[in-house]
Amino acid sequence: MRAAHDAPPRVTVAIATWGRGPLILPTLQSVQRQEMGDFECLVVGDCDDSGACRVVRKLGDPRFRFVNLARRWATQSGPNNRAIRLAAAPILAYLGHDDIWLPNHLSAHLAAYERDPSLGLVASGVVTFRDPYGVRAPRVFGHYDRTDQYTPTTFTPPSGLSHRVDDKERLPRWRRREKTPTPVDRDFTQRMIETGYVAGSTGETTVLKWLSTIFYLSYFEPTAEAQIEALEDIAAGRIAANVARWVDAAKAADLFMAPLTEIATLGTQHNEMRDQVRGLIMAPPIPAGDDAMVPISDEPRGQDWAHINPKEGPYRWSGFTRRPRLYLPFTHDGPARVEVDVRAFHTWGLDGIALAHRGAPLPHEVVEADRAGRWVQGTIAFTLPLSTERGSVITIVLPPRGETDVPQRVHGIAVGEMRARPA
């Protein structure tokens, strides 16, 4: 382990953070457990007040330092630029505040630079999960043979990237998201290529990533269950087999190095969609009461919920995850009785469905269930302590019903009108 007074480290690690708080710990632990320990880790808050600074301090590791921006950028760009400015090493590697590195990540990157000194930008394979529990085949990025394969639509998420930072005058800076029509990470790396940086790959898959932009409410009510499980798999020696299985699944589903053309140039529209999915833009809650009723809305909800089909009435079907999260836009000082109108395919009905709140089982009952054509319709009712300041989140736990890469109406649940009154 380096001490703070030693020679400059071989790598600077940059972790931009906002709102992650204590849940950043598994990510920091994945850095701390690197086989190549000669690094400094800059955890840069985007005007963060969630407590991440205390997590860094409690590590008691002089290689880790927390720096906080005075003004928020609402993107990783500001923290990443600060990390570039402060980096003491000749190479800088990025890591998302909710992602996990395998223990050989940094050593694989350094080996790539040593094999080919012309490289200025190196990517590792990144397993990018499309649901929190890895049920669906993931995407895999980061395996390149030539610089010309690195494009805005076949890019590598920053958690798999490192680049030289010894020539800071030449290096582009990260732009504000309102200044670029493409996502800021793709914009930055593409400008590196245009500046003349040669890109290469480690050829190894060393990153596990959970995209906050497809996991509903990932900032409104974050979790770290998947990250903790990944660390447990690493410690138990299971991760190599898991990564091989995920890579094989990605190849079988044509998601290995597949382009992301659908959001390459959505610009500010994409920014707003991302913020809605993350829970940074939410409908204002209303007080629970006898007349407190909210119809289901159709804003983007990531992988958890499909959009409303007008032909099927005021219901919104769950997506491809078996644990869709539901936002309850009600406030109250104490417990409230909440009712949610639901619908399911008649073959399965509403049996076997469970609810959870903050990881704990939430007792419920199904009332007024009846058959309506192809569907079974009813109301799920439960009692939940509400907040006086913001809405609440529950998780609907669906029973295993076969493959999830099929139309969600067959295996999922649809939700409609929601009501809440003081209990």
User: Is position 194 within any domain?
Assistant: yes
Q: Are residues 264 and 299 in the same domain?
A: no
pLDDT at residue number 5 = 52
Q: In 312-326, which positions are buried (b, 16+ CB within 10 angstroms) versus exposed (e)?
A: eeebbbbbbbbbbbb
User: Is position 1 within any domain?
Assistant: no
User: Is position 289 within any domain?
Assistant: yes
Domain end, chosen from 219, 247, 274, is at: 274
Q: Which two tokens stand for residue 374?
A: 């192809």
Would you place residue 47 in the very low, low, confident or very high pLDDT band (cuts 50, 70, 90)? very high
Domain end, chosen from 240, 274, 308, is at: 274
pLDDT at residue number 407 = 45
**Using CA atoms, how far apart are residues 342 and 413, in angstroms rounded to an integer?**
7
pLDDT at residue number 411 = 60
pLDDT at residue number 370 = 82
29-43, 54-68, 84-98, 140-154: least confident range: 140-154
251-255, 292-296, 397-401: least confident range: 397-401
109-123, 190-204, 295-309, 359-373: least confident range: 359-373
Task: Look up the domain containing 140 and give its range.
Answer: 11-274
pLDDT at residue number 408 = 46
pLDDT at residue number 322 = 84
User: Is position 397 within any domain?
Assistant: yes
pLDDT at residue number 316 = 93
User: Is position 141 within any domain?
Assistant: yes
User: Is position 4 within any domain?
Assistant: no
- The pLDDT tens digits of the residues spanning 189-200 come to 999 999 999 999
Can you give the three-state secondary structure of 274-339, one letter per residue? HHHHHCCCCCCCEECCCCCEECCCCCCCCCCECCCCHHHCCCEEECCCCCCEEEECEECCEEEEEE
pLDDT at residue number 212 = 84
Q: In 112-135, which positions are buried (b, 16+ CB within 10 angstroms) versus exposed (e)?
A: bbeeeeebbbbbbbbbbbbbbebb
pLDDT at residue number 249 = 93
Q: Are residues 144 and 209 in the same domain?
A: yes
Would you place residue 176 in the very low, low, confident or very high pLDDT band (cuts 50, 70, 90)? very high
Q: Are residues 41 and 177 in the same domain?
A: yes
Domain end, chosen from 250, 274, 298, is at: 274
Q: Which two tokens stand for residue 281?
A: 């833009």
Q: What is the CA radius of gyration of the chain?
A: 23
Would you place residue 265 in the very low, low, confident or very high pLDDT band (cuts 50, 70, 90)? very low
For the domain that residue 380 is a member of, what is the CATH number? 2.60.120
- The pLDDT tens digits of the residues spanning 149-167 come to 777 667 799 999 999 999 9
Q: Are residues 269 and 302 in the same domain?
A: no
Q: Are residues 236 and 300 in the same domain?
A: no
Count of the separate structural domains present in the chain = 2
Q: Are residues 26 and 81 in the same domain?
A: yes
pLDDT at residue number 25 = 98
User: For residue 20, which of 51, 44, 41 has the smallest C-alpha distance?
Assistant: 51
Q: Are residues 182 and 321 in the same domain?
A: no
Of 205 and 212, the structure prediction assigns the larger pLDDT to 205
Average pLDDT of span 36-50: 97
Of 406 and 102, the structure prediction assigns the larger pLDDT to 102
Average pLDDT of span 336-342: 97
Name the pTM for this structure.
0.89
Q: Are residues 195 and 80 in the same domain?
A: yes
Q: Are residues 19 and 150 in the same domain?
A: yes
User: For residue 296, which of 313, 321, 319, 279 has the smallest C-alpha distance?
Assistant: 313
- Asked if residue 33 has pLDDT above 80, the reply is yes
For the domain that residue 38 is a member of, what is the CATH number? 3.90.550.10
Q: Are residues 123 and 256 in the same domain?
A: yes
- Asked if residue 266 has pLDDT above 60, the reply is no
User: Is position 2 within any domain?
Assistant: no
User: Is position 63 within any domain?
Assistant: yes
- Asked if residue 312 has pLDDT above 90, the reply is no
Q: Are residues 344 and 229 in the same domain?
A: no
Q: Are residues 48 and 195 in the same domain?
A: yes
Asked if residues 193 and 150 have their Cβ atoms less than 8 Å apart, the reply is yes
**Using CA atoms, how far apart are residues 283 and 297, in angstroms rounded to an integer?**
9
- The pLDDT tens digits of the residues spanning 220-253 come to 999 999 999 999 999 999 999 999 999 999 999 9
**Using CA atoms, how far apart are residues 412 and 295, in angstroms rounded to an integer?**
19
